[in-house]
Each structure stands twice: as C-alpha cells, then as structure tokens.
Structure 1
Amino acid sequence: MNTQTTTLTPPAVEISGISKSFGEHLAVHPLNLEIGENEFFSILGPSGCGKTTLMRMITGFETPSSGRVHLGGVDVTNVSTRHRDLNMLFQSYALFPHLSVFENVAFELRVRKVPKAEASQRAQEALELVKLSHLGDRKPDQLSGGQRQRVALARAVVSGPKVVLLDEPLGALDQQLRKEMQYELKRMQREVGITFIYVTHDQEEALTMSDRIAVMSDGVVQQVASPEDIYNQPETRFVAGFIGSCNLIDVTVPAGESGQQVTVNAEDIGALVGVLAEGVSHEQRGTLLLRPERIDVSRTGDGLRGTVETLTFLGEEWHVHLRVGSEIIKISLSSLVRERDLPGLVEGEELVLSWRPQDARIVIR
C-alpha cells in the first residue's frame, strides 16, 4: 500500500474576502486572489481603481476593512509591515544619497545583523544580478535614472524576501529605457526566483512582463488571466476597452450557451455574427468585441460595407477608421498588406469588412 503523501506548497500570497472602505467609500470591493510562488503577477488598472490600496493591504500599510492576507500560508493580516517577508520598490527609488551603491544594497542586511562577510557577498551578488557590480563605489547622484532603478531593485531582492511589490517603478524613465527595463525586470525575477507583484496603469508593461494579470476598475477585479487570455478573451467590456484597442459595438444578444455562435443585431448596422463569452438566459443588451487586427478588408466581395474616414501611417502598420452606419470601426493593417492588397487606398473609398465568427466575442457585462 502506498502511504506517501503529497505536500502542497501554499501560494506566495493568498487574499481572502479582503476589502477596504474609507468612510462611506468602498475603495476595494471584497475579493479573493491567489498569487503563486515565483510568479510575476501584475495588478493593472486606471488611476483611482483601487490597485495601490490593494497593494498597501498586502504590505501592511493599510488595514483591511474585512478579509485576511496570507504570505506563504501564514496569516499576516495583523502583522506589521517590517515583520512581513516582503520588500517594496517604488518609482522614487528612495536611495540614501550619502551612501555608495554597494552600501545602499547592503544596508538592509546590516540592519538585519547579517554577518559582515555574508552581507558583503550577498550585496555583491545582487549588484552582479543587475549588472552594476563595477559601479559599487559610486554615489546615487553619479548614476543615470535606469542605473538608480537597478540599484533599488538589487536592494529589494538582496535579503531574499518571499514577495517583492513594485509600484509603478518605471514611471520616471523615458520610453526607450522603460522598454529595456521591462525585459530586465522579467529576467531578474526569473533568476532570483521571487514572487513579483507589479502595480501599474500601463497595459504594455503588464502584457510584456506578467505571467498573470488582474485588471481592476472602480475597486472591482474584473478579470484575472494570462496576458494572452486577457487580450484575446476579455470577460467584460471594460477589460476589452482598457487592454489594447478594441471595437465595442452595442448589440442585442439572444439566449445561448457559452462558446455558441450566434447572430446579434447592431442598431443602424444590422446582423453581425460572433461567439458568446458566457451563457445568456434571455435576450438582453450586450457588446460585440472585435480587435482591429482581426478584421479583413477588401475592395470587392460580400460583407459589411464602410467608408474610409481616416488613414494613419505608423511605420509598420496603418490605422484605418471606417464609417459603417453610425459606427466608426477601427482596423489595423500591416504596411505589407496595405501595399500589396490595397494600393492607392484613399479616404472616402468604400471597403468591404469581414471577420471570422470566433474573433468577435460577445459579452453582457
């Protein structure tokens, strides 16, 4: 008889029924969330959606109005921030200007009374991780913004916390440096094997780096999924509109089962075909979600007809706005397709639109 038992590793972070109210304002509605070991997890949403408040409850800077917070299976709801096994990285870097780069990174280890030789070795390894070991003797004001950000990250991971929380850490960097740091953060997170929780309003950052994303709006978590599923299978109108560009067409939706292909009616356009994202028990109003790059256009054939209102060249692609009835439909065309299939396309020209039914997702939320 096999008497072996399997021990399940608890999630790095488990949130159960957590909420936060400020007076009569419910900033974060009750939610449950699990974030796994060594996961790069992003909390994404517009300003004021509750994402920073949620992060502050995980760190202990805010006390939940309800619910519990567990780190590695340990209830830390009433534990102070300094006694939680986590670290934080902010946009401001918060480096000590009078200390060298090396001393900044080693500071926390010395506060924790780690033996000097061990602290020096771990600080040096952290600087090597962020590729700054050659700048250990410099002061923060002798570094670029990107280098200071790397020092702050080295300091956040040097003690080997269970979780590192990052609150809009790339916001102060220019666009090109932000893109470079996105890939660097992902690489470093994989190398150190620490759970990262990344708070941002930037959808590109979240899509680029995350294993999973929680999209928030008005204190509610709208959807938790992988970047690919968030983009291709949004569960609500808000998620579709917030992540990337999407055509949101108001329609009347018939009853049907999740995944079923149905015909819906769009006022002033007519019948459109798509797939139900969830079961619908009775006819009601909903939204047909259609990504611009999923639409095919041609000068001839059968399909929905629209008139070109604007043509915008963006290098590798063209953005085309077509008027169909009272709707403006956004379309993305690669420059190659534009040159090959639609040479000489001009504003005012009529085109035929079509798409695969499975690319038109219909939601009622």
Structure 2
Amino acid sequence: MIGLAILISLMGLPQLVQATDFTSLAFSSTSYALGISPDGSTVLGIEGSDWESAIWKASTGWSQLETLPDASSTMGGAYNASSDGSIVVGYACNASGNYTAVRWTAADGIQELGDLPGAGSESFASAVSADGSVVVGTSYNFDWDQDDYVADETAWMWTASGGAQDLGDLGGGDTWAYAYDVSADGSTVVGYSSFDGQDSDAFIWNASDGMTALGLAEGKEGMETEAFGISADGSVVVGKVETESGGWEAAIWDASGDMTVLGGLEGGGDAVAYTVSGDGSVIIGYAENADGDNTAILWTEELGIVDFVDYLLAFGIDISEWDDLYALGISDDGLNIVGYGEDPNGDHQGWMVTLDASSVPVPGAVWLLGSGLFGLMGIRRKMKN
C-alpha cells in the first residue's frame, strides 16, 4: 500500500482521500441494494434469506417494509423512492400468491396499485416521480415452471389522481413493453418495447407524443436497444445497445433522442449503463472486465468508463475482495452510489459508496487519474492473482 500512496501522490489528486467511504450494508445472510432516494437518505432493496422488501438508513440500518394483508409470502422488493425517501415503490406478494405493484408511504403504509393495464397475472413498480404522485412499471405473465416471462408485458403509468393507463408499445406483430424509469416531474418515461414483433427498442414516452423509439448511432442501424434510466431533468437517458457479435455495450441518449455509444471496459465484454445522476453528468452500471468478471462501472465525460473498483482504489479504498459487483442506484448529486455484490465471506450483500464533492478530481487532475487507473488495474490484478 506504500506504493499505492506514492502513486496517488504522483497523480496529483487532492489530499482528501478519507472523504470517500465504502460501507457494507450487510444483513444476516443476504441483502441487495437496488436503488437510492434522490436525496441520498434512503437505500431501497431486499433483505434476508426470505427476500423481504426493505429500506436502509444510516441511523437505523435495514428496516423491513409492511406486507399486504393475508399475503401468502413476505417476499418482495423495494426499487425506487420519492425525492426524500418518504414514498417507496416496488412489489409484494398478495393473498393469491402473485407479485403485485405496491406503493409504501409513512402515513398510509402499503398500497396495492390495483387493476393495472395488460392481461398479466403479476406486476412490479420500477420508479416513482420526485413527489411520489406518478409511478411507472410493468404487468406481465410469468411461467414459474419455465422460470421466464412468457407473454403480455405491458408498460403502464399510475397516478394518485387518475389511476393507471397503458403506455402502449412501438407496434408491429407480437407486442410488449417494459417501463423502467420516470423523470422527476413524472412527465417522461423510458424503457424498451418490441418492434416488428421481435427486436427490443429503447423508447421514450410523454403525454403529447406517446411512445417513440430512441435513435441509433451511425453503424448501429438494426441493432437492439434497451433504456433503463433517465436523469431527473430528463436530459439524459441511459441503457445499452447491441454489438455486431450479439453482446451489449453501454449507451446514452440526449434530449433529442440521439445516441452516443459509451462502449465498455478495455478488453472486457458486455456493458450496461443502468442509471444516472440528476443532471446526467455521472452514470453508473455494470460490465464484464478483461478478466471475465462482472464489476460495477462509473462514467463521466472526463473519465469515460472506468472500473468502479479501480476508481475507489485510486482514493485508497480497496474492495478487491468483493466480486460480481453491480452499481444500481445513484443520488441526484452523484455522491451516493449503491449496489450489491459478493462480499469477502461469499454472501451477496448491498453496499454504498459516499463521495465528498471536494474529493472528486478537478479537471486539471482528471487525465492523471485516468492514466493512474490503468496502473492501478495492473496492481489489483497481480494482488488478486
């Protein structure tokens, strides 16, 4: 570690390394951090061996959320929250043994969102607006014998005042659609839909234009795309685009629907841009690295895509004993990042990284950080091997 300290010094990084913190959100046998409220106060996810919906706060740790009356199981999941974390959305098991979209509030507890569009037997709520009044998600049929979605996936929007509406699809043949995220004001929804009965195409939806396909970069004509996240201000959409070999690479779209391909890690495989900070400047997700392992990734315009493990190592935080990392949630300010992975004990556990704004490399040191990361990657691989 002496060599690492010297390298960081030579890189010219601000001497605020201790302002960056990695926290294991471990809970007994397992935990999954699947998202975080925009203000960074509340982590959403799953806890325990029975996969129960839960939230995590620094002051209380994990707290299980209420289940539906007469539920046949406590299994569920919390995915997303309003700006201050007071309203949470996800899914829960009902009395019939099916999973159904729900909304939790501090005042009223759990609320089943009721009859949702589509013929699906089950549903989940994936995102909610900043004030908690707009929820988006998907209804579907799930064949437990095949362990797969089988038909009738329908994207929908639910509002506290008007109930649920079908968001439609991109048309053509056997149609289906998934709604994954919504802008802070609840006006814009992103996800992906079938097109011409087979390909998945990333879409954007608003009340005036309905559902429209997002654009493709030059050379990506005919390739499949999927969108998973949108910035709070609606300016940036993140997701993935198919490669010529049938894999995936991270991609983003601007407010006009134009695509920029971000790619993946050097020498690695599939990469996914999963979610984004409020202003679109910081993107996180996951990718296959050059060793063939799954790892969390971070993107900024200055750095490009970097392995999140190497990024933390540049600040003196070594999590190389964690494996199979996924980064799935980020606060609006980009300073709180959550996900899950396999911890040093071999258990799947949630984690959170907190960055101090002053510890983020200034533009003049960015190129030094980028070049230093390549050296750190080599050091980490030798240490791991």
Does TM, normalized by the shorter one, top 0.5?
Answer: no
Normalized per residue, the structure richer in strand is 2
Normalized per residue, the structure richer in helix is 1
Q: Tell which structure's C-alpha radius of gyration is larger.
A: 1
Q: What TM-score results when the alignment is normalised by the length of structure 1? A: 0.30
Q: What TM-score results when the alignment is normalised by the length of structure 2? A: 0.29
